[in-house]
Every structure is written in C-alpha cells, then in structure tokens.
Amino acid sequence: MHERNAARQSRFNLIGTLVLVIGLAASAWIFFTAGEDASDVIGYEIVDGRSYPVTTGDSKIYRHDLERFGGKAAVFADDLTRWLSSLWHGRRLALILAVLTIAVSFVCFRTAERIPPGAGDEKER
C-alpha cells in the first residue's frame, strides 16, 4: 500500500509541476505578445505630444447620459462590467493566468504532501 501512495504522491507532484511549467510559459507568451486593446476607443487625446486613447467609459457625455437614464447604479454596473471584461484581454489575462496556474499547482503539491503513507491499509485486511 505504501507503494501505491508513493505513486499517487509522485503523480500529484508531476501534475503540479506540469501545470506550473505550462501555465507560466503560456502566461509569459501572452504577456510578451499582447498588444494594446483598442476595441473601446472612440478617439484620442494629445497631451504634450503624446496621444492617449479615450474610451466610451472616459467620455463625460456617455457617463452623464448613462447616469441620467439609469442612475448611479447603472454607472457603477457599467464600470464593473468594463473592469471585469478588461481582465480577459492582453497583459491582464497573462497575469490572471499566472495567478491561477500558481494556485492550481499549489493545490496539487499540497494534496501530494497530505497523502498519508499508510492510508487505506485497513481496507486491505
């Protein structure tokens, strides 16, 4: 039975290592190849010779009209929706993938660590 638990521990450690290596490699690839997301840009503002994108969420007219028709709750809901959708694009996606990768591999390593060496001996008798 000890061999079976040792094999189970090594499997969890292998899975944790594979998840960590593949996930961090994918995260690094996404981070370095991601471009700027310009899907919500309605114009550009030039300040001191540099251009900055202006999104619909930055537009005072848009926010005023949204508050006029839906109240402050609509403005809050729009801000929350825009923030949540921004997490799944570009460099933020890479960072979220890295955090999830580390969490999943940590769970695999902790599971392997917590497998007792004599678990299941009573069932064999």
At residue 53, φ and ψ (nearest 5 deg) are -70, 145
Q: How far is CA 22 from CA 3, 37, 93, in A?
A: 28, 25, 15
Encode pLDDT of 27-62 as tens digits.
Answer: 999 999 987 666 677 778 888 888 887 877 778 888
The partner residues of 45 in beta bridges, in order of sequence, read: 52
C-alpha angle with apex 19: 17 to 21, nearest 5 degrees?
65
Per-range mean pLDDT, top range of 9-18, 51-60, 113-122: 9-18
Q: List, in order, residues 6 or more apart from 63 with CB less than 8 Å away.
A: 57, 75
What pLDDT, on the 0 to 100 scale, is given for residue 6? 85
Q: Summarize the confidence of residues 15-21 as an average pLDDT.
A: 96
Q: Is 19 exposed, middle or buried (0-12, 13-18, 19+ CB in 10 A)?
A: buried
Question: Residue 37 has what pLDDT?
Answer: 65
For 36, residues 6+ apart whose C-beta sits below 8 A from its C-beta are: 53, 90
Tokens of 68: 């006029």
